[in-house]
Structure 1
Amino acid sequence: MLRSAALLFREKGVEATSVADVIEHAHAPRGSIYHHFPGGRPQLVEEATRGAGDFMGSMISAGLASRGPEHTMASIVGSFRDQLVATDHVAGCPVGAAAVEGPNTPGARDAAGAAFTSWEKIIADSLCERGVARDDAERGATLALSAIEGALLMCKAQRSTRPLDVVEEWLVGMMADLLGTASR
C-alpha cells in the first residue's frame, strides 16, 4: 500500500489521492488500510512519504558509491525524465508532492523535510569523501536537489523535459567542477 500511495502521490498529488485510490491501486481489501494504518490517511501519507524518501536515499547512496556524483546526478535526472515522458508530464517526485501539499498532513511535510535533509547529507558526504570542502559540498548538494525538484515542477507545467535537460547539463558540470577543484 505504501508503494501504491507513493506512486499515486507523484502523479495525482497528495491531496487528490484518496484512501480508496490507494486501496484500488494496491488491490487491497478495504478494511486492511485501517488495520495497517490505525491513524488513517494521515499515517498512510506520512509513512508513504517516509518510505519514498528512504528508497530514493538508498538509490542516491548506491549511485554515488558505484558511479560517482556526475553519473548519479545524470541518472537521477534521467529517471525523472523517463517518468515524465511515460506519464505525459504528470509524474513528479512523491516527496516533493508531500512537501508542497503538506499543510493538511504535517507529518508528511515533516517526512519530506527529513528526506530532503537526508539526501543533501548523502550527496555532501560523498563529495567530501572525494576531497570537496564541506561548505562547497553542502551548497552543491542543496543546489542539486533544489534544481531537480524545481525542474520537475517546470516540466509538469510546461509539458516539456527541457528544464530537466538544462539542469542535468549544469549539475554534471557543477559536480565535475567541484571534484576538479578538490583534486587541485
Structure 2
Amino acid sequence: MARRKDPDGPRAAMIRSAIALIRRQGVAATSFADVLADSGAPRGSVYHHFPEGRSQLMEEATRSAAEHLGAGMARILDASDTPGALRELVDLWRRGLEAGDYAVGCPIVAAALGTERAARDVAGTAFETWCDLIADKLVADGAERRRASSVAMLAVGALEGALVVAQARRTSAPLDAVVDELSLLCRSVTESPDAEA
C-alpha cells in the first residue's frame, strides 16, 4: 500500500523506506520495487534520484542511518557518564525491538553484512565513528586513551552482537547482560586509569 506524498520529496521517502526495509529484511532482500511500494515514490524517480542504481540507494540509506544514529549516540554520550549513556542506548534499542516485535535490527549491521560494498564501507566508517565517540567519552570520564579505544571497540562489538542475539531470541535479556558488564568495565577504566595503562 502506497504512503501519502512525502513533504521532503520522493528521494527522502525512498531513503527512509530503504532504511526501514533494510532493518527488517537486510540489504540483499531489499529491492527497488520494495522501496517504491513502501515509499509511494513514483517509479520514474528511481534512476532520476539514484542514477547509479540500487547500490547508490543502499549506500545513501546506510549513510543516512549512520548519521542519524551517530548524532543520537553523540547526544546521549554528552548527557551522561559512559555507563549511563550505554544504558540509555540499550533502552532505546529495547524499545525499538519491542515496537518491531523483534523483527527489526540495526541497519548498520545489516549493511555491514550485506551485498553492497559501498554500503559495507559506510557501515565500517559508522562503527569507527561510534568507537571514537565512546572512546572520547571514556577519556573525558578519566580513562587513558589507548585503553579507552580498546574498551570502546569492545562496547560497540558487544552491543551490536547483543542486539542481534536479542532479535534472534526475541528478548532484550542479552542487551541487559552486556550493558551490565560494560558498565562495570567502563567504571573500572575511568576510576583507576593508571592501573589500566
TM, length-normalised to structure 1: 0.92
1: distance between equivalents of 2:90 and 2:144? 25
Pick 1 or 2: higher relative contact order, CA cutoff 8 A, min separation 6: 1
Indicate which of 45, 61, 83 corresponds to 1:32. Answer: 45
In structure 2, list runs of 5 or more residues that go unmatched.
1-13
Indicate which of 61, 67, 78 corresponds to 1:48. Answer: 61
Contact 1:131 1:183 in 2 (8 A): no
Question: SS in structure 2 opposite 1:39?
Answer: coil
TM, length-normalised to structure 2: 0.86
How far residue 182 of structure 1 moved from its aligned partner, in angstroms, is 4.0
How far residue 158 of structure 1 moved from its aligned partner, in angstroms, is 1.7
CA displacement 1:111-154 (0-9 Å, x = unmatched): 10011011111111121123210111111111111011111111
Indicate which of 15, 19, 28 corresponds to 2:28. Answer: 15
Listed as ranges, the matches of 1:69-84 within 5 Å are: 69-84=82-97
Q: Which residue of 2 aligns with 1:150?
A: 161
After TM superposition, the runs of 4+ consecutive aligned structure 1 residues lying more than 4 A away are none
How far residue 183 of structure 1 moved from its aligned partner, in angstroms, is 9.3
2: distance between equivalents of 1:6 and 1:136? 34
Q: Which residue of 2 aligns with 1:58?
A: 71
172-181 vs 31-40, which deviates more? 172-181
Contact 2:82 2:138 in 1 (8 A): yes
Q: Which residue of 1 aligns with 2:139?
A: 128
Task: Tell me: CA distance 1:23–1:70, structure 2 relative to 1, closer, same or farther (3 Å).
Answer: same
Indicate which of 89, 94, 100 corresponds to 1:87. Answer: 100
How far residue 57 of structure 1 moved from its aligned partner, in angstroms, is 1.1
Larger Rg over CA atoms: 2
In structure 1, list runs of 5 or more residues that go unmatched.
none
Residue identity opposite 2:45 in structure 1:
S
2: distance between equivalents of 1:118 and 1:71? 19
Q: How many residues align?
A: 182
2: distance between equivalents of 1:157 and 1:63? 26
